[in-house]
Each structure stands twice: as structure tokens, then as C-alpha cells.
Amino acid sequence: MRPADVKRLMDAMRVADVQEVEVERRDEHGVVERVRLVRGGVPVRSAHVDAGAATPSAPAPSPAAPVAATAASTPSAPTADPVAASRLVDVTAPIVGTFYAAPAPDVPNYVKPGDRVQVGAVLCIIEAMKLMNEIEADVAGTVVEVLVKNEDPVEYGQVLFRIDPS
């Protein structure tokens, strides 16, 4: 994608007051180009842009509307005790890719909140460039939160799980 195309997208985001946009298109050689732009850090409104379009194609919710979230993508058991929360160990994504909670669609997830894990236990898989990378626990403890839902894209350093090592 040319810099002028990205600039047009940024201008369209500003005009439409959209906080996040992702564009995917295939060129004449079949190569897929994907660009994701986020304004202000935390996405509040988003719109999908069709391959040939330069403006958002889906209506965005009103700014006052809460961001839709599923139970799996929100903290599953937020810790009210700040001391307890401070001892939790964050498991972060070591690579950019797609999060998979289970080894296959028809089998249970590797872990869920409340499960005890040992060092080296597989917590999930992140697919990157057609390679399946098992993400293992660095500490033994109890899984307190699963912060990503199955098949979500994840960024490098994004918190995936919180584990209580006690």
C-alpha cells in the first residue's frame, strides 16, 4: 500500500471520527496487503474497510456506546484486592499472530480460569506465518484471567493470561 493510500485512510478516519480501521486487499499478483490503523491507543469505534474503498464502509457505533466484548476477551475474574493483583504474573505474546485456545476446534481449551498449571504447561498456540507456536507457562500457579478469545489477532507483548503463582 502506498503512503498516499495510508494518508487518505488516516484523513477518512479523522473525518468519520473512527478510532480503528483495518484494510485488506489482494493485488493483481494475488499478494494480500493488510494495514491496521488505530488512533489514540485504545480502540473505541471501529469500521471495516472494503478492499477498494478509501472510507469506512460499516457504520460505527455512537461514541457513547460501550465497546462490545465477549466474556473470554474481558478479565474473567478481576481481582478486587490490589495486593493480590500485584503478585499476578502476566503471560504475554512473544510474537504477532493468531491466538488459539485449543489445539483443534473440537477439543477443550488448554487452560481456563481456575486451572492449576506447572512450569512448561502449554497455555495456548499462536499461529504466525503458518507456524503453530506453543506458548508455555513460565511459572506454576493458578490461571486467574484469560484476556484473549479464540482466533483473536494478538500483538507482540500483549497480555494473554494472568497467573497467580501462590
Last residue of a domain, one of 19, 51, 68: 68
The yes-or-no verdict on residue 32 having pLDDT over 90 is no
Percent of the chain with pLDDT over 90: 44
The boundaries of the domain holding residue 20 are 1-68
Same domain, 160 and 104: yes
Last residue of a domain, one of 42, 68, 94: 68
For the entire predicted model, the pTM comes to 0.51
Rounded Cα distance, 89 and 145, in Å: 10
Same domain, 53 and 87: no
Better-predicted residue by pLDDT, 76 or 8: 8
Same domain, 89 and 141: yes
Backbone angles phi, psi at 135, to 5 degrees: -105, 125
Unique residue bearing C-alpha cell 475474574: 77
Rounded Cα distance, 32 and 64, in Å: 34
Same domain, 80 and 149: yes
Better-predicted residue by pLDDT, 23 or 66: 23
Better-predicted residue by pLDDT, 132 or 46: 132
- The listed range with the strongest mean pLDDT (9-23, 26-40, 90-104) is 90-104
Distances in Å between the Cα of 74 and the Cα atoms of 4, 121, 149 are: 36, 23, 9
pLDDT tens digit sequence for 77-125: 455 555 556 789 999 999 999 999 999 999 999 999 999 999 999 999 9
Same domain, 79 and 6: no
Specify the range with the lowest mean pLDDT, choosing from 68-72, 79-83, 110-114, 156-160: 68-72
Query: How many domains would you assign to the chain?
Result: 2
